Structure formats: C-alpha cells, structure tokens
Structure 1
C-alpha cells in the first residue's frame, strides 16, 4: 500500500458501418490496465503535489456503481473537489467547509455553519492529522478530528481560489499559499512565515511542486517557476490567460523529459519543459475554469462539451468524446478509467474505446445520474466521492455522494 508521501510525490452512437474489430488498430490505444490498489486517499487538490488528478494504479467502480451513502450539505453548490483522508471527507460548499466521517456519513464539524455569503472556494489540503483551510483572507490549520484551530495566519488580501498546497520537505513541512499578488511559504507546524514572493497578478489555482520547485499560475496568464527559497527561476506568459492548475508531466508520462502543462482560457493546452521552453501547444477550442489530468501517458482535458485525450509527449490528439453538455467539472483518472462530472457522472475508458477521433464505440463504462449536477469527483480506497450542485435556482440542496 503506498504511503501518503508516496502519493503526494507522484508526479496520476456507433461507428456507422465500420466494425469494432476493424477499428481496434486505430488511434487511441495505450494498453492501460485496470488498477489493483484499493488503499489510497485523495488528501490534497489535484490528488498529489503535481496536480496529476490521477491514481493510475488505483481501483474504482468500472460498472454501474452502488450508492453507499449520501450527506446533505445545505448549500446551492459544491465549489471544490472533495478531499478524502483515511477517515474523513472535507467538502467546500461556498458558504462553509464541512468535515464528514467516512465510516458513518455523519458531520464531524464545519467552520462557518451560519454563513449565508458565497465566500469559500478553495479545497483544503491535509497532512498528518491536520487540515489546512483557506478561509477568505485567513489560513487556518485545524485538527482533523475536532476542527479546532491549531494556528491561524492573517493576510492583507483574499487567498486566491484554490491557491494552497502543503509539501513535505527534509527541512520540515511547508504550506504554500497565495494572497493578493504574492506567494507565501509558511512552516506547516507553526504558521511562521519563511518567505514572500511578489508576482505580476494574483495567483490562481493550486500550485504544483516538483523537484524542489513551485509552479504558480496567475489570473493574468503568468506561469512562475519558483525555487524552494522563494526566488523566481523563470516566468512565462499564456496570452489568453490561464484556466487550470499547472500539471506536472514526469518522465513516466512522456517518452523524453519532464515539465509542466497548463490550459489557456482560449482552449489551448501548452507544455513547457523543466527549463521553461515552450515545447508544444494544442488548440482544443473553448476552455472554462476547469482542470487537466495525466495518467497512462495520456493528458485529459475538457473543452466545452468535449473530453479530449492527448499524447503527453507531443500534444497530438488521441481521441475525443462528446459529453452532451458543457460543465466546469475536471476529469480524474483512476486505474484505466476517466471520471468526469457535469449533468451526470460519466466513466470513460482511458483508451477511448475503439475508433478514430470522435467516432468511437465502447468508450462509455457508465453514466450515473443523481438528483443534481455533479460538480467534482475524487476517489479513495476503491470508492468515488462526488459533490452535487442544485444551482442558484435549483430545488433541493447539494449532497456528498459516496459510490462503490
């Protein structure tokens, strides 16, 4: 069973008259196998420090799933992916951050149960027995069991949406958080400030950590590579703006080298090598505030109503699948399956079934329709954890669904 350190340092209708057998040798095959590991968690946004959004060797439902339990959250939305530890699930609802017991489905604690404003957007991150929560302009380290605050750090500006991660280092664990137009490094144990680095623009989305470097995107489209001492190694500009967390592609994901990929607001996926050189760029079309995933040498990205699979080495398209409706719900990869929310939860073969481009057969594993749109999905220990959203005018409330 991989440890949390192992996981965090990982850096993942029909075809007309054409028969399935004739399509078997066409584009889209990567020979991925079903996962075998059922002991894993999702302790931080993006699953790990590289934002892979993947547990490539993990087990998760591959056929119609069973609803184990549901927990009513009492809000119009789930605004971030569920964070899952060995015994708890943390869910951000916009008006609150809620901790739910994994075994019973009962609420352990929440930080702001009487709040009526739309103020919480970013997902927490967990290390050990402590959860680090972005709370408007305050970063709070809370006991995972009780919710009691161990320490707080006030910033002069609002913490950027999702701009929080925690890294285990030889010199002690660090919290990286963005507020205003600056990135901060804090001691995870005490909250003491280690360094501050001003940026051109406000940081947005969860930073990535790899090889002693921190990769930070800003709202204005700047991608920074910052050393563990807080100095800028390089900065690159995505002219249309950045619309995803940076995702590390390691040498296991590509035939040569490693680097970082980001999505632009215009639907362009751009890959920079570790030195900041722009190696490839692929235009998909529209792209919302979403995320990308990497698993089995395949980069997954959602653009409007379409899920794209790209070759991680050169950005070439392997396949695409129509998801029927547009939604801001990023894909994840568990085992040989891609899971993506929207009007329902969809499970798709990471090899895209059989076919060429969008002409596919056998790509769908299941569609699961709940009582609301699925805003985000994560996985742990062979189960799926999905947040549903009722919407501003929707009837009912949001729920946390646990599927096996």
Structure 2
C-alpha cells in the first residue's frame, strides 16, 4: 500500500472515524506482504567488513531501558552479507535451547548457547574465544520460546546470569573477572556504568560491576527489567519500580504485563493483554492507554516514534508505527500487515527492523514505512544489533549474519 494511503487511513483510526474492523484480523488495511525494493542474497564469501562498523549494541535491547533504538543511520539501502558464522548450539548431555540475542562492543560480537559464551570478531565473524558456562533460561522477547540468557557488556567486560550465579568475563579473552554464587540468575541482566542488575530466584539484586559485590536485593516477583533515570522497573505479575541506588520500592501497579518494560523520557511503556499503557516513571500513574482489543508485542521506542506488532490472536498481525505526541497516547502513522508471528526488533534514525516467520528480516523506512530491503524467509532473527555501518543478526539455531554497505 502506498505511504499516502497508509497515512490517510491511520489518520481516520486516530480520530475514531474507523470505529471497528470486522472479525479478529489486524486493524491495518495493508493486507499484502511488504514488497521490498531490494532483496539481500544469502550467499557470502565471508570476506568481512573492509571498515569495521562504529558504535556498540551492548545489551539485547541496546540499552538498560530496553528502547532498542540507536541514533545512527544506515549507510546503504542495498546491503550485502559481509560474513556468516554458524555457532554450534548442541552439546552432549545439555538440553539444546538454541542461541541467545547478540550484543556488540569493543569490536566483538558476544552471544550464548545452552552451555557456553561465544565471542566473534566483528570484522569477519571468526571465533575469538569460548567459555563453558550454563546461562539461565529466559523467555525470548521475540516470542519464540525459551532461550539462553543473553550477555550484557560494559566497561570492557561481559556479564552473564547463570544457573550457578552471576559471572563477569573480560571481553578481550573471556577470562573470569569475578563470580558471585550467592544468588541464582533467573533473567536478562541490565547494566549501567557502575551497577549490574540481575533477576534472581528471589527477586532482583544489584551488583558492583568492578568486583561483583552484591549491594542489595529487593524481594519482588519479576524477572524482566528496565533501568533508567536512577529507577529499576521490574515486570512480573505486576509492575514494580524501585530506587536503583537503594532498592527501596517506589510504586507498584497491577498491570499484569505481557513482556519487558521499556523506559523513555520519563514514561514506562507496558504491554498488557490487550493494551499498550504509558505510565509515569516517577509515581506509576497512567499517562495514556492504547486499547484496540488486540495485544501488542514489546515496543521499540525512539524520541519521535513507537513501533510495535499488533497481534489480534490467531489472525494476521501488523507492524504499527506511532508518532510520539506532547500529551496523550501516541498516534498511528503507518502500518504493514504481516502473517502470523514476528516482532519489531530494533530501530535507527532512518530504519526500523522487523522479522516475520514466513517472510524474513525486513528494513522499513521510519517515516513512511516503505520496505527498503529484506533478507529471505528461511532466516529468522532472535535479535539485531544495529551499528554505524552494519547490522548483526542471529537466528534461533545460532546462525550469526552481519550485513553492511555495498
């Protein structure tokens, strides 16, 4: 569907002109597959990047706030595969649950399997080091089942929640910097410059990133974190906000969130079973609510936009782009209908990335939702790391692919 038609329809939705849609399909009128301007060929000679991309993607959702947004621009609309590395996720005697999301910093790409942490060269995908550790098992934000807990990176170290505690590794060689066995990891950590927050079997604990000293534990039910503006937001049976310095509970709301919280500009974005809710980070009061009678997946949040998959149940879903507004709920800008499955995984200044189970990885323009390029249907992405000059992706089976300029 042309961009102008999308904008016209969505304007009617925003003003209430379109009151309902028959049946339980997505409310997006764009009922065809996105037709990309360019299709990336899957073949590669693994030559690698001539110039290593700048920037980093140090946590699975870029930052501790889970925004999945980085302020860089794609250098090309016709990328190619620069390298591909297939990481073995099968180890004798260990249940294989595939690969984790990737993180990138210090020119290395790091991910986990069911029994190890693996570091690859960002330049050409060659393995740099591997350490045998058993990560905690976590629910994938992309909705594709349980996965090994991904690492997070900060200050030259790799941090990981494991079944035996919390571990910090040196990023350059994988050597153990410290290990804390006081608690059992139970979720994806969030890391800031001076603190590591880890969901545990009992609640959420804060650790000193330098030596692994446990500074506090708050006993709440929740394993999904976002940390921003000196506040840690914990999602479980309810949403709880605690002071990131002391662990003191600030507020709680009974939203029953379906996924991870996202924090941006003083707002906590919470997907519930049917709504997308914006709450004040300060006191938890509701600021706005998008209620279409359909569920939304974990959103990607940028200074100007919110991107999310609208999922109406067993029928077709859609990628929605919303404009941020000064007051009130974000307003629809464009949409692109997809078949069952998929997620919005990341955004840069000029591109938003989705993967769809029967289509593949697609890059849309942020403003109008035009499909710029696509990587083929047989490839599914657990996550993306978007850099200045490249994109690194991983499939559930451990196929890591790096894309770059012409």
Same fold (TM over 0.5): yes
* Secondary structure of 1:54 counterpart: coil
Aligned to 1:204: 223
Deviations 1:35-84 (A, max 9, x none): xxx7321012321232211013x022552320000000123765532101
Point out 4+ residue stretches in structure 1 off by more than 4 angstroms: 22-28, 76-79, 117-120, 284-288
Aligned to 2:290: 282
Unaligned runs of 5+ in 1: 1-12, 29-37, 251-257, 354-362, 390-396
Aligned to 1:332: 346
Aligned to 1:104: 124
Matches within 5 A, 1:113-192: 121-157=148-184, 159-162=185-188, 164-168=189-193, 173-192=194-213
Q: Does the CA-based 8 Å contact 1:126-1:132 persist in structure 2?
A: yes
Q: Does the CA-based 8 Å contact 1:39-1:380 persist in structure 2?
A: yes
Deviations 1:186-240 (A, max 9, x none): 11111111111111x2x222x222222221212x1333233411111111111xx
Distance 1:323 1:261, change over 3 A: same
Distance 1:130 1:80, change over 3 A: same
* Secondary structure of 1:55 counterpart: coil
Distance 1:106 1:278, change over 3 A: same
Task: Select which of 60, 66, 77 maps to 1:63.
Answer: 77
Distance 1:301 1:153, change over 3 A: same
Is 1:367 aligned to 2:374, yes or no? Answer: yes
Aligned to 2:314: none
Distance 1:113 1:161, change over 3 A: closer
Q: Does the CA-based 8 Å contact 1:267-1:287 persist in structure 2?
A: yes
Task: Select which of 92, 96, 110 maps to 2:112.
Answer: 92
Q: Does the CA-based 8 Å contact 2:322-2:331 persist in structure 1?
A: yes
Tell me the CA shift for residue 95 of structure 1. 4.4
Distance 1:83 1:109, change over 3 A: same
- Range moving further from structure 2, 325-334 or 139-148: 325-334
Superposition RMSD on alpha carbons, in Å?
A: 3.0
Is 1:48 aligned to 2:63, yes or no? Answer: yes
Task: Select which of 234, 238, 258 maps to 1:216.
Answer: 234
Aligned to 1:392: none
Tell me the CA shift for residue 120 of structure 1. 5.6
* Secondary structure of 1:105 counterpart: coil
Distance 1:27 1:61, change over 3 A: farther
**How many residues of Structure 1 are paired with residues of Structure 2 in the alignment?**
341
